[in-house]
Chains A and B, each alone.
Chain A
Amino acid sequence: MEKFRKFMRPQRAPGASVEQLSTGHTFRRWRSAILVGGEEKELVPQFPPPEPTNELIKEPQISSVEPLLDLGTIAITRTWKNLPQEIVDHIVFMLRNDLKSLKACSLTCKAMFVSTRRVIHRKICLTWERNWDLLTIPEKQKYIRGERQDIAVRVLSAIAAHGLLPYARHLYIHLNRNFTTANLQPFNDHFQRFDRIQELSIYWLHTPDFLCGNFDAYFQNFVPTLRSLHLDTPTGDTRDILDFICRFPNLDDLTFKMGPGDPRDWRTFGPLPVVEKMPPFRGRLKLGNIDERCGHTIQQLISLPGKRCFRFIDFRSCTSKAEQPIVDACSSTLETISTTWGRFRKWCSIL
């Protein structure tokens, strides 16, 4: 048994350094990065050549087992803070879906703070709950009375005051029915600073408000970079809604959900908008609560001449008569179809 124990111990040749036992360059590179005197000597294995002998091969005599790494004697002066910022950014980006870890990382040092800040505030939420929390009691009383022009989008000022606007890539707007031009006008300077938004989600967009000259005044800064547009319960004429969608020429993904109530705003069906450049629509189409008539209109939109080809379609609580024409319109490029049986409240939260 004792012989077996000795045999199972880590073995190394007498006089051989730790580096000589490491199998690759990884250990040496790591050591030179963190230890004192990062200069690394070229380590050449110096095992003596085996001498020919006629004696029987003996088991190696191990008098004492040395630890591979003596942490007690290592003085660490270089840390991962010496890593280039790009590498820190890359590491932090891998945690992009773990907000708790990102917040913890942001408290460690300046390098991580800078890096995590971009990721944490990648998605900016303009919600009425956050806005409500920022209001004073007199302002809340005004809000309840319906005098909301200067306070309905106050949250935008708070976000701007913290310098978070340049980090935003995904903007989520859920201000109920307060997202109007009149309410947004006092804060439009801040709104115009969203110039790198790639994904825009809006709950209850009254599209006629933001068309004609108002589109350039409020949404022109989104045009060059916007790739995904999610509209939950938009209101207005069909033509207006489609007109709004088609003003973003780089759209790949489109989410479109009708409200749970009656689709009265869709009763008016005007002709499809005429735009210079139709969006490519090369990504994902998510539709919720779409009935036959709405489906037909969307089918017309994606059937217009040009290169428009959704690869993924996700139907949520749509009628089969609405789905079929859309599937047919995208049949040449469609790769994945998701659909539902029955109606699911949970799955209807489409944004």
Chain B
Amino acid sequence: MKAADAWRLSAIPYSEMAFRSILQNSSNMWWGSFGRGSSEASGRDDLVKRALRIARFDKLVITAFVIVAASAPFLPQVLGASYGISASVTLSLAVSFALIVLYGVQTLSSFVTSGPSPVLSTLPLVREDVSLVNLFSFVRTSDYLVVGSVVCQVFFVSLVTGSALPGLFMLFAGAVNSVMGVGAALWLSSVFYRSILGSKRGKRGGVLRLALLLAWGVVVLGIGVLFAGAGYMIPLVQGVLASPGVLTGSILSLVYPFSLGISVGSIAQGLAATLVARLALGATVTYLLIAVVVSRWSMSSIASFPEGASGTQGTDRARDTSVPLHEPVTAYALKDLRATSANLTSAFLLALPAFETLVILLIRAFLPTLGASTILVAMTLGGMVSLILPLVLVSTEGTGFDFAKTMPLRMRTIVFSKALIATAVFLPAAAVVYVESLLKPLASPFSVVIPLASILAVAAASTLEVRLFLGFAPRGRAMFALQEFARMAAGAGIVLLPATIYAISYIFTFNHILATGAMVAVASAELLAVAEFVRRS
């Protein structure tokens, strides 16, 4: 088969894979809603088209984001900074690597669990042709991202250095970086999904999942830190790299992607013969070899998909059939936790509120005391982040929601169970604040009450959001977008109101007791009102 034919044919398995990925997570996001035929026959064709449109739109948005992220580190030089480009190239490569990994893991679940298209294997195609089509459909998952990031990196390096050679080397570095990113995404997906699908439930699997979750968190937080600190980091790192005889520079020159960044920088400066530059060039050659190995491994993994890439049944066989029992709300919450943790992206979102709060506290770590404003900002932002969870919890129902719909379940059981999880994952955010308060003196003793009020507000907001997400089926795309925004805005309003009341009360009275009292009162009233609304509806 000609490569052009294989490329054209690969659009079909790619579409199928994109559709399956979206269908797995979106049965209640873009079509239908609780009790209103999410899988009714008339919508099937439209559903497929919409899923593919979402996949394409999603890829375009992420690509735009990757381009901005990969370009941003070059801004100092574009604006006239006089220092070299090694740190900028390194940062750009690191950010694009991380984003390729993040996006890849989200879209590769269907690839890893069942291969792009089992139907291909049944067609009269030789194995090599099937593998080639699979390879191309795999390439389609991140083609825009890779091309977008590499083109903008080459463009900026050529622009800043005013020379073609560094640009050419940047092209090589970008290609190596993309291969490594895609390979890492593939590996991470394989390990994670096989740990879920390929074995019996157990402590070992749980620990592995937790470890992968933390690795995922480090990648996500890493991107955040790189963005937040880029302005300070670039000159600092550039200074370290440019100082001859500094041990840190020598070590960094061996670390990926510093090696590539330093190599591009040294080529731009006419191949500076420093130790750091030599070490970096040597390491770059090593990384090139690793990239070759990674690409071969990736291709062989993809080629094996037609044979069934999923873990299939584990070797551990159950011997008993005992079934533990719980209260309905607990059982539903447990089911949701299990389903959510089976997906790397949604699993990480469970830890996000605590991560967000931690980041805020770290940013203000230089302050001698833990002020009420720091706690208020950290808890409010953590609370805002936790508002993603109701949507995530509703989305992870997937097509299995029909199973729940056949049961004698009241709407409020589902709403309260999901709100319970959304609130529970916010509790570590409060714990982070209390741990911080043990390490650092509080500016006001009453500020310890703020996290409690925030928990009440988050409970109210998530309850309302879940109820709204489950309750109404919007008609048409415009209405969908509008209503989705309105639902999120309602939750955000509930989280922000007690914090705003606190701020206003304090500004007018300078009294912490009154301000925290007002905050708790408003948050409690919100929770009671929302609970009553859910009970009546």
The judgment on whether A and B are partners is no
Q: Which residues of A contact B (CB under 8 A)?
A: none
